[in-house]
Amino acid sequence: MIKFDFSSIPIPLSGKTVEYICPKCKVEFEVPIEMALEFEQEDALMGLPVSTPPYTICPKCKYNKCVPLDYKSNRGYHHKYQK
């Protein structure tokens, strides 16, 4: 698993993370919870369905649809990746 470098983000972070997986290259990595919440908020503002996971970019292959392994969103949906 790739560990997140918290010092690279210029805002205060809680230290909590969400584990993500890249469906393309299968690398697992961490994202600060604050970033997942921000992605989720952007999805809501864009009118995406609640079932849309908060996507991020893979740090290894740069695929842009990486998904949380197991994440309960503030919008009330439980995202669980099926390997």
Task: Say if 53 falls within a structural domain.
Answer: yes
How many domains in the chain? 1
Check residue 4 and give its pLDDT: 65
Per-residue confidence at 20, pLDDT binned at 50, 70, 90? very high
Residue 10 pLDDT:
72
Tokens of 18: 């969400």
| Within a domain: 49 | yes
Tell me the whole-structure pTM to 2 decimals.
0.84
Q: Which domain does 14 fall in, by range?
A: 6-80
| Residue 1 is assigned to a structural domain of this protein | no
